[in-house]
Homo-oligomer: A and B are copies of this chain.
């Protein structure tokens, strides 16, 4: 399986085209109980504001309402880290999908009450990234 973890993301490359990967991520987020509360087209925004050309880059701000409700009760300032982002971007022609690693984020929040919630968010977003990246003809098992 091609998923690799850096310190703060759950990320993978995919053979899907950028727009197909975006559609797959949306489907998988819904499947895992996340709504998309905001979207940022980074390529369009930086073109408009700075006139620069970048490859496609979309930020999807995902929220699982019951988990967010629970987390904000335990940690009122947590909104500075919400929603949980999943990004799809193209880099040198290759499509990447990445989600924030909620369990790693917890390390800077330092509130043990959030451990179960962070772990649950991590599990679900990891499933989103992994399943969204699968292309029909090339299941991830082929990369193992």
Interface residues of A, Cβ cutoff 8 Å to B: 6-9, 11, 35, 37-40, 42, 45-46, 49-50, 52, 54, 57, 59, 61, 63, 65-66, 68-69, 72, 76-77, 79-83, 85-87, 89, 91, 96, 98-100, 104-105, 107-110
Contact = CB atoms under 8 A, between A and B. Distances in A.
A2 to B, nearest CB: 15
17 contacts: A8-B80, A8-B81, A8-B110, A40-B61, A45-B63, A49-B65, A50-B65, A50-B69, A59-B80, A76-B91, A77-B96, A79-B85, A80-B98, A80-B99, A80-B100, A104-B108, A108-B108
Contacts of A80: 8-9, 59, 85-87, 98-100
- Give the number of copies in the complex: 2
Given A42-B72, A46-B69, A59 B87 contact: no
Contacts of A9: 77, 80
Q: Is the interface of A mostly helix, strand, loop or mixed?
A: mixed
B65 A45 contact: yes
